[in-house]
Amino acid sequence: MHIDIDSGLLKEARKVPSPNFDERPENININLLVIHAISLPAGEFGGPWIDQLFCNRLTADDHESFRDICTLQVSAHILIRRTGEMVQYVPFHQRAWHAGESSFQGSECCNDFSIGIELEGCDDQAFEEIQYQQLAGLTREIMKHYPTITQERIAGHSDIAPDRKTDPGPLFDWERYYHLLEYKEA
Q: How far apart are the first and last CA of the chain?
A: 14
Catalytic residue check, 118: yes
Residues whose CB is less than 8 angstroms from the CB of residue 50 and which lie 6 or more positions away in sequence, other chains included: 38, 40, 79, 87, 118, 120
Strands of 74-157 (E only): list them: 78-80, 86-88, 95-96, 103-104, 107-108, 114-120, 154-156
Q: Which of 64, 118, 120, 182 is catalytic?
A: 118
Cα angle 134, 135, 140 (rounded to 5 degrees) comes to 100
Active site residues: 118
